[in-house]
Amino acid sequence: MELFDNLILGFSVALSIQNLIYCFIGCFVGTAIGVLPGIGPLVTIAMLLPITFNLPPVPALIMLAGIYYGAQYGGSTTSILVNLPGETASVVTCLDGYQMARQGRAGPALAISAVGSFIAGCIGTLLIALFGPPLAEIALKFGAPEYFALMLMALVAAACLAHGDMIKSLAMVFLGLLLGVIGTDVNSGMARYSFGLPELTDGIGFTVIAVGLFAISEIVRNLETTEKAEVFTKDIKNLYPTIPDLKASGWPIVRGTAIGSFFGTLPGTGPSISAFSSYMLEKKIAKDPSRFGRGAIEGVASPEAANNAAAQTSFIPTLTLGIPGSATMALMLGALTIQGIAPGPQVMTSKPDLFWGLVASMWIGNAMLVILNLPLVGLWVKLLKVPYRWLFPSIIMFCAVGNYSINNSSMDVYLCALFGILGYILVKLECEPAPLILGFVLGPLMEENLRRALLISRGDPSVFFTRPISLAFMIATALIFITMVLPAVRQKKEKAYVEGGG
């Protein structure tokens, strides 16, 4: 009964005119940026963070969440029609979606992608409503040692499971932790690594790093691409799936939803790994695996369901534990902090309207996205024809104005440009910047909990190994690290990314 009462509260919040408008804006912008290659949800949320300063917490988070899961829908359109993934999680959809478009079946591919995403999104949201409250109750029993051990596990998992070399990912986490140290020490009041600059005594702003690393560097990288892709615009017909299409896609959608829901709750995984894993599973259990890569509808249905389910369930650790599982979730956590809300299990009890309003808005947003994706497919196709060089000046200006407006500080704009250059260099060195932002967000929290735990234990580090929950997280951290270091596992992970097209 409590669940129904909470959902009624959530829908009463989400159905207000203001929140419906922001939900629609989030879904529309999310779909649009998912459609545009090179501008993913990470970039857009990073760019829009400064705007959320001037919004109340509930509509701000509803809009940002709409952008996130809306981009998962929109990314499939570009993958199917242009063979260019709008964002990483849509890479796998290119393999069979584009082949279907070449065979004149772009309509069914787009339709089944939207249906799969809708079903997975609704189930993922239901899981947040069901498992969020009990998980938050468990988290309320956590002390400083448990939080430190959990954050350590999240960072190690994020580094080990990230795409690319594990050593580079661990180095990115370490760099993020170092950047998080800059500022004033809370205990002693001494400035740390501020280089005598008064602007750095409060630390580096979260939006400065996020916009620089993700938005600016991504724009520069996209400007290097000169290839012109073929866009399928004439063969988009029969938008509604046929009975055989639905029969062939039913179980793949269910399996993709289950895989995505599982991976979404794990730190460091998220939509990309979910999509790769679900595609590999479908290929393994198919009667004729040779159909995959040649236009198999299961190769579109399952990954699309998986990436959307993961996008929804990744809110569970973020909202209930205050631990972001991915860089995008770290931005959402940053948005909470900007609003003056301390992330963690207490959000559910102290701000029930925010938590349940957000959950209810996800159902409404998923329904909006089905409406946006199918009838408006013509509009998205036109959007695909806009040359990227027309978009980037306005995006750069938007980033600069947004960063300046937070503190009225030109230093923030210069720092943002500096992190843009750093982000571009990191991409060239094949270093994923996502673990860096996780390290930056979790670093100060880890330091605070480490100090508190050592104060309680009078400096005895065995406190992390004598408490059962903390010990379990420490063992899990060690197991993740050892497992990923094993050559056979590393080769398997790299093979999965290569076969998945990542």
Q: Quickly state the pLDDT bin for 295 (edges 50, 70, 90).
A: confident
pLDDT per residue as tens digits for the range 113-129: 888 888 888 888 888 88
Q: Three-class SS string for 84-123? A: CCCCHHHHHHHHHHHHHHHCCCHHHHHHHHHHHHHHHHHH
**pLDDT tens by residue, 155-170:** 888 777 666 677 888 8
Q: What angle do CA 208, 212, 215 make, to 5 degrees?
A: 120
Please write down the HEC assignment for all residues of 402-462: HHHHHHCCHHHHHHHHHHHHHHHHHHHCCCCCHHHHHHHHHHHHHHHHHHHHHHHCCCCCC
* Higher-scoring residue by pLDDT: 386, 442: 442
Identify the helix (H) or strand (E) that includes residue 301.
helix 298-313
Predicted structure pTM score = 0.75
Residue 143 confidence class, pLDDT cut points 50, 70, 90: confident
Nearest-angstrom CA–CA distance, 70 and 117: 10
Nearest to 267 by CA among 151, 158, 136, 124: 158
Say which range, 78-87, 151-160, 296-305, has the weakest mean pLDDT: 78-87
Is the model's pLDDT at 45 over the cut of 60? yes
410-426 pLDDT, tens digit each = 888 898 899 989 988 98
- Per-residue confidence (pLDDT) for residue 501, from 0 to 100: 47
Helices (H) and strands (E) in the chain, counts: 24, 2
First to last CA, the chain: 44
- 177 Cβ contact list (under 8 Å, min separation 6): 439, 440, 442, 443, 446
Tokens 């993934």 correspond to: 85
Show Cβ contacts of residue 228 under 8 Å, excluding neighbours closer than 6 positions. Answer: none
DSSP label of 291? G
What does the pLDDT look like over 305-352, one tens digit per residue?
Answer: 888 888 888 888 887 777 776 777 877 877 877 777 777 777 777 888
Q: How many residues does the chain have?
A: 502
DSSP state of 374: T
Are residues 116 and 80 in contact, defined by beta-carbon separation less than 8 angstroms? no
Residue 500 has pLDDT above 70, yes or no: no
Q: Is the pLDDT of residue 303 over 70?
A: yes
Q: Which residues contact 337 (CB under 8 A, 6 or more apart)?
A: 206, 343
